[in-house]
Structure 1
Amino acid sequence: MPMFDILELVILFLSYYLTRKISKKAHILEFWLFIFIGGFQRVYHNGTFVYENPLSGRVFEKEEILIKVLSKMFGQLVNSSSLEMSVWKVLFSNELIQKYNIRFPSEREFISEDIIFDTEYYAKANRVVMSSDVGYYYCDNEDSLTTKYNPNRFDLQVKLYLELIERVKRLKIYEVSIDRLNATLIAVARYSIKLEQKFSFRNGLIQSKRNIKEICQNSVLKNALISFKSKNVNFQSRVVNCLIKNNCINFLFGIMFIKNNLLKK
């Protein structure tokens, strides 16, 4: 399957022609400072999921890149399209990366270095081209780092959250980003609690419940829960969010036991 469909090629070359027509002094690199975001196929042990880019066929330029593209990478909301923030499905311009010396931060510094890179790269790009053409195959691994227990997972997510808050303020997209950032922080809190229950056999019941309590009482999370609109998540998640908000440790432990042991897919 070709990387670009015919419509996208036409759009790209028309953009280039018009750019050259308007200013003969324009350098060709100015046109190629763009991003191509494609689709991907995620392969699970029990089936396959094909991701279709919700903005496929569209081209975004300059200011709308931050508002309509980057902001959608910060989290998922019910009844609203979102974009996968991982860089492995994207074609980037090396010229732009070298020109602005854009680099990935260390994984030791931020738990998700991709989104940090995104905030710097998308802020410099001239245009973004969207497609659903599958150019990447992601094989889900139940033993990957993202599914393993990390006692510092939630604390690292809070650190990332606070960093992204400052970045979206500087980029002037705070209002369109904050609900998604809150949604991600709260989702990671739920997942971290789920892992605490799952590994309670190893860490001990008392320690696991203590860790769950610390997550629930985190001041950053509490503020996010207060400002987050509950309609932005499904009913199940809404119930768990309410339990977190009210420090219902035993109820949370019980629900996560059911999810971990009785509702396995």
Structure 2
Amino acid sequence: MGDLWLRADTETGALSAELTEFHCVNGGRGFGGWTAALAALAAARSAGDRQLHTCQVMFTRPALPGELTLSVTELVAGRTAAAYQVTMSQDERPVLAAQCWFTDASLLAAVGPVSRRIAEVPPPGACPRVTWIEQEFPCLGGFTERAVEFPLSAEEFDTTFRDGGDRLTVWMAPAQTTEPAADAGLAERLTDLMMFDCHLMDAALRGGPGVTMVSLDLTATWHTTARRPSLTLFDARGRTDGLLAATYASLIAPDGTVRATGTSQCRVYPRQT
């Protein structure tokens, strides 16, 4: 997915980052999962050893290639939890606002709730590899994906996959994990934000032939203590009402436990013919 790097001004401590064309999709817009993860990373700098529990992101304007500036405000800091607000701006205009709760690991469950979905899907080795996404969107090539209910080509995505259904299921795993062990827990949370934004909207697009969509927000909640990024079953549902869509997804570990859940609201645009 490309490295997440923040620059801190040596005198003022002001945070900034560079959005490159590599991190862009759909006509040069910054990939929302990458900017959301960048905002969570900025908040984590103030959170110490606490683990990210929830992250709510609103995408207010498209981020374009160039410099991004980030400001972090502490909203509350208690004995076992703290919340921060992050504003990401470009050319002095906000492109993203995020609120992040961090908690002590002792407040999180060691094992998440069990999903019955895992028993309904074939194992990764029995599922075909998804290769077209990296060709269409190079920045999304950071994941290895195997289709359960997912198209195997861009043409299929725009035709037979758009059949009015409401579900999308795919095995996903980071193509490589090279983060230091000490940062593995945070890396999992940041990876999950990008994972959610990869396909949440696609679940709604399946039910909307002849439309395009733009994500308005992204919310993620983690149900267990942080782990190293690993193989995950991404299972999502989407629904469109009028010109708005709502999506929901679970990230399920191979043992059937739910690591995290996420939602996204989307604006729907009929395609121009």
Q: What's the TM-score, normalizing by structure 1?
A: 0.27
Between 1 and 2, higher relative CO (CA 8 Å, sep ≥ 6) is seen in: 1
Structure (1 or 2) with the greater strand fraction: 2
For normalisation by structure 2, the TM-score amounts to 0.26
Which protein has the larger Cα radius of gyration, Structure 1 or Structure 2?
1
